Amino acid sequence: MSITMPTAAVEGIQLTVTPFRTDAVIGTVGLPALLQLVPSPKAEEDKRAMKFSSGALRRHAEIRSLVQRTLKSTQKGRNVAGYARYIASGINGDFGSGWSTPPITLWLAGEPGAVSEELVPGSGIRRITLVAGAPVVAIDGETQVTALHELNDDPEQYGITYQQLNAVRLPFELYWGLGVEDARQIFYDRNVEGVPVAKNLAMSMDQRDLGTQLAHRIAEAVKVEHDGRMIPFTKLVQSRKRQLTKADPELITLSALRVLVITAIYGRSGLGLSSSTVRTADLPAGVRVEQVERRVVPLLCTLLAHLYPHLAARSAASAPAVLAGIGIAAHQATEWATSGAALTETDLLNLLAGVRWEREARYWDGVAASANSAGTLNFGGGAKDSGGRVADAILYPDTESGRKIRGW
């Protein structure tokens, strides 16, 4: 006796999705299902391990290599562990609601095994089935996928549990029926066509960054008379742009104010941190965050109030390189400064009192800016290039650059 074999049922991973193109859908997927669909990119780059892997995994690795860059010995690969720690901290609630990972862009090199009718008439919502071993590749968001594999391989290392991971759902978009050329094009478009955010501007948006936190606090604390009324200085801080134009009503960018804070905390070594996230654990050895808040916040509040007339005149004082130099000089007025002469707040203000802040080549060319043949200054070098020279000119008035910025 024989029985009839099923003809319609397709077995595999089912996803509830909403189409946004005839060949693309969006939805969310549980982490266990995602990790089944998309193997670990790190494992697929392990040539020794791949020799003993299944044929399906080797074929997947071949397809992935057609549309993705490698992890090994690249910045992409070096980012994996940090990304895993970030996701684990988010899962653990360390960031509250203030964390996010972008949707993962998946490409199915083929067609879904089955697509259901609409689950809710008129909504477009359907259930699709991807058969076991379907070659699904992350063409955008692969670093995140690799980090998720790392978490799943050893959750205890990152302070989370399998139970927590099994509850994670991730947003995705899925394309199918595309050739390799189209998949490559999507990879290119996602990684090149968008305008990347400047790193120092991105840092000024990071509310967990210590420099950003203190910059906001200082700007809120300082009150200035502007256009005939007293306002908090924060109303004059531009937080959405890297550079100001003449038409902007603000006087300083948040990223430039953050540079002042970071160099005041770290001194010259702060120049290298202007585009890096700074956590409380990254403070100089033996320095507590309470010390920094107690000393740096009031000191920089005093400095901003002192510099306000020059900032309002849109002078050189608002340039990131100049603010970096001022911050390095201010570092000498902290009790944890380990080199150079110690300064009091009065000493610091006296050093700044004689500086000519006008944006003129005779004062700033070769120190914080470069001048063209017409004498027009360009401060484009930035804090890292010129902050140290500005600091030396402020701290040592009898040097050539010290005399220059004072008009002697």
Question: Quick one: pLDDT band at residue 314, thresholds 50, 70, 90?
Answer: very high
Question: At how many degrees (to 10) do helices 75-91 and 142-153 cross?
Answer: 60
The answer to whether 137 touches 66, Cβ cutoff 8 Å, is no
* pLDDT at residue 383 tops 70: yes
- pLDDT given at position 8: 65
C-alpha separations of 130 from 24, 108, 144 in Å? 14, 9, 21
Alpha helix (H) ranges present in 189-288? 199-203, 210-221, 254-266
- pLDDT given at position 127: 94
Q: How far is CA 261 from the centre of its chain?
A: 18
- pLDDT given at position 3: 80
- For residue 365, the 8-state DSSP code is B
- Distance CA(407)–CA(355), nearest Å, equals 8
Beta-ladder partners of 104: 172
Alpha helix (H) ranges present in 40-158? 41-44, 47-51, 55-67, 75-91, 142-153
- Distance CA(397)–CA(405), nearest Å, equals 9
- pLDDT given at position 20: 95
- Distance CA(40)–CA(54), nearest Å, equals 14
Read off the pLDDT of residues 268-283 as tens digits, 9 standing for 90 and up.
999 988 878 888 888 9
Question: Quick one: pLDDT band at residue 244, thresholds 50, 70, 90?
Answer: confident
Residue-averaged pLDDT of the chain: 90
- pLDDT given at position 34: 95
- pLDDT given at position 339: 86
Read off the pLDDT of residues 78-133 as tens digits, 9 standing for 90 and up.
899 999 999 999 999 999 998 999 999 999 988 999 999 999 999 999 999 998 88
Q: In the chain, what percentage of residues exceed pLDDT 70?
A: 97
- Distance CA(172)–CA(138), nearest Å, equals 10
Mean pLDDT (whole number) for 1-28: 86
- For residue 337, the 8-state DSSP code is -
The tokens describing 376, both together, are: 């027009």
* pLDDT at residue 73 tops 80: no
- Distance CA(109)–CA(63), nearest Å, equals 8
Question: Quick one: pLDDT band at residue 385, thresholds 50, 70, 90?
Answer: confident
The tokens describing 408, both together, are: 């002697």
Mean pLDDT (whole number) for 30-41: 94
- Distance CA(173)–CA(27), nearest Å, equals 7
Question: Quick one: pLDDT band at residue 167, thresholds 50, 70, 90?
Answer: very high
Q: Which of 244, 237, 240 is nearest to 217 (CA)?
A: 237
DSSP, residue by residue, 264-315: HHHGGGGGGGTTS---GGGSPTT--HHHHHHHHHHHHHHHHHHHHHHHHTT-
* pLDDT at residue 377 tops 90: no
- pLDDT given at position 331: 96
Give CA angle at 57 (56, 61), nearest 5°: 120
* pLDDT at residue 16 tops 80: yes
Read off the pLDDT of residues 193-217 as tens digits, 9 standing for 90 and up.
776 776 656 766 777 889 999 999 9
- pLDDT given at position 204: 65
